């Protein structure tokens, strides 16, 4: 179900009314859970069974981890995490294995053909990672004297009984604002928030800002750009000139940011409406001055998850320089595969892994200095150009298409489509302003801010109503 669909508007309205009715306050988690199941099953009702299976496995596993002796809990954690990885592997990567072994459709092999036809459930990467977070955090809570008090609360929650703990777990995994495309929420940051919510405590300003910004980024910027960036797909780009190709690649870079950051902003706003705080997922990534800086700004919930549960688990930077570079490369390679069961996503991860490892080797672990303005601008442009180039692996399905793109760039075609170029630049301007806002905002007098800000949000609402592009799924739904 799309956030910008009429069906979602009805679901949200009914849920909001029931959720904040005083007589139903004790039923709030159940109301959100039912709405979440309706939201998820709208795409394919059969796949709701997989979500519920994941919930049951993680509820049983985490509850047992909290109750069994520490040594048994360690084995239970390993088994339960393996079950999650197995579910993800079976539904997301079995087809990749079959295509690699037996060809694109695997028609000549009965098993391979079956594996290729397994459907990809919406959001499986997101809710699987949340389940793994729950299991690991529950195990860590057994040593809560060394950890945050929020993790210790998981150890306390299970004393309320299995059914209450299971309901809380179901809500944590299935919470519809961020179910299918994040942000990925860690268990220790969610469970303690499950308590009665009151209509009078809704942070309306916060909700309004994130929801309007999110719908603007998605419906006005991303949905308008997608009708042009579609021509980057193979073989459509073969007849285009280098200038048009570069502009469309710039447009896709702006589109994928607007699409994903828009979803995350809507999710944050809707969560706040229901009384839940989920993490910010983007922090102006296109002004990053290094690749490490970029990954502290882009899809923050995934990069922090990979860092905490995978990079540190592999040893982080504690086992020497070579091992550090290898760990960075491996984490990004797996992060690329997380995005999709196709080798083009692995190539994307390899590009970023090599960039992070090389940067680390050249600069070491010392913190960034404060470069002069010209150097800072050049660094930012270099990182942006690299990141934008790497998005080609999100569009093109294999390395042959990637090489075909660069052949088209140097084919000698000299007929630029200035209408398309202008179109991309126009819809890229809001993203550039969004990233550069902080450079000038603090210097604006308070009285001027009080006039400018309402005008900007008013313009965004007007554009959402009158200048939205054709509706389309969020890009990260496929992951």
Residues marked as catalytic: 339
How far apart CA 28 and CA 25 sit, in angstroms, is 5
How far apart CA 274 and CA 203 sit, in angstroms, is 10
- The CA-atom distances, in angstroms, between 102 and each of 98, 118, 302, 396, 444 are 6, 15, 32, 21, 62
Closest CA to 300 of 311, 313, 285: 285
The number of CA neighbours under 13 Å toward the Cβ of 286 is: 21
CB-based contact 32:178 (threshold 8 Å): no
Nearest-5° angle of CA 307, CA 311, CA 312? 90
Burial of 262: CB neighbours in 10 Å, binned 0-12, 13-18, 19+: buried
CB-based contact 252:232 (threshold 8 Å): yes
Burial of 19: CB neighbours in 10 Å, binned 0-12, 13-18, 19+: buried
Closest CA to 322 of 291, 267, 361: 361
| Placement of tokens 């694109």 in the chain | 104
CB-based contact 301:281 (threshold 8 Å): yes
Residue 445, sorted as left (phi over 0), alpha (psi -120 to 50) or beta, turns out to be beta
């Amino acid at each position: 179900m799309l956030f910008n669909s009429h069906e979602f508007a009805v679901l949200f309205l009914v849920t909001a009314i029931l959720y904040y009715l005083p007589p139903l306050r004790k039923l709030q988690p159940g109301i959100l859970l039912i709405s979440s199941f309706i939201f998820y099953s709208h795409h394919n009702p059969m796949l709701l069974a997989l979500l519920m299976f994941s919930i049951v496995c993680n509820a049983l596993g985490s509850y047992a981890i909290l109750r069994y002796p520490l040594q048994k809990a360690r084995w239970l954690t390993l088994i339960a995490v393996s079950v999650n990885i197995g579910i993800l592997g079976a539904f997301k990567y079995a087809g990749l294995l079959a295509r690699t072994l037996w060809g694109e459709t695997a028609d000549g092999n009965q098993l391979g053909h079956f594996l290729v036809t397994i459907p990809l459930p919406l959001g499986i990467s997101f809710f699987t990672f949340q389940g793994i977070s729950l299991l690991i955090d529950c195990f860590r809570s057994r040593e809560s004297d060394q950890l945050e008090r929020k993790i210790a609360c998981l150890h306390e929650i299970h004393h309320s009984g299995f059914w209450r703990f299971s309901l809380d777990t179901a809500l944590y995994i299935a919470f519809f604002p961020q179910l299918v495309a994040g942000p990925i929420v860690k268990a220790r940051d969610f469970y303690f928030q499950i308590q009665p919510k009151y209509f009078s405590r809704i942070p309306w300003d916060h909700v309004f800002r994130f929801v309007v910004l999110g719908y603007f980024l998605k419906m006005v910027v991303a949905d308008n750009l997608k009708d042009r960036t579609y021509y980057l797909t193979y073989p459509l780009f073969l007849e285009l000139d280098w200038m048009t190709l570069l502009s469309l690649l710039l447009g896709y870079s702006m589109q994928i940011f607007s699409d994903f950051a828009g979803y995350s902003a809507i999710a944050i706003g809707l969560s706040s409406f229901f009384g839940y705080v989920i993490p910010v997922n983007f922090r102006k990534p296109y002004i990053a001055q290094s690749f490490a800086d970029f990954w502290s700004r882009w899809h923050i919930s995934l990069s922090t998850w990979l860092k905490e549960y995978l990079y540190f688990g592999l040893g982080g930077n504690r086992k020497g320089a070579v091992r550090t570079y290898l760990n960075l490369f491996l984490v990004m390679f797996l992060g690329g595969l997380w995005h999709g069961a196709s080798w083009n996503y692995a190539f994307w991860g390899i590009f970023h892994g090599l960039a992070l490892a090389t940067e680390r080797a050249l600069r070491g672990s010392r913190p960034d200095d404060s470069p002069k303005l010209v150097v800072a601008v050049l660094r930012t442009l270099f990182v942006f150009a690299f990141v934008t180039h790497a998005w080609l692996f999100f569009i093109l399905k294999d390395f042959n298409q990637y090489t075909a793109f660069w052949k088209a760039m140097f084919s000698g075609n000299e007929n630029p489509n200035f209408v398309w170029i202008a179109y991309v630049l126009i819809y890229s301007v809001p993203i550039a302003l969004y990233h550069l806002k902080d450079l000038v905002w603090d210097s604006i007098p308070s009285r001027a801010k009080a006039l400018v800000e309402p005008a900007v949000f008013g313009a965004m609402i007007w554009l959402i109503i009158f200048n939205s592009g054709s509706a389309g799924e969020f890009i990260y739904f496929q992951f």
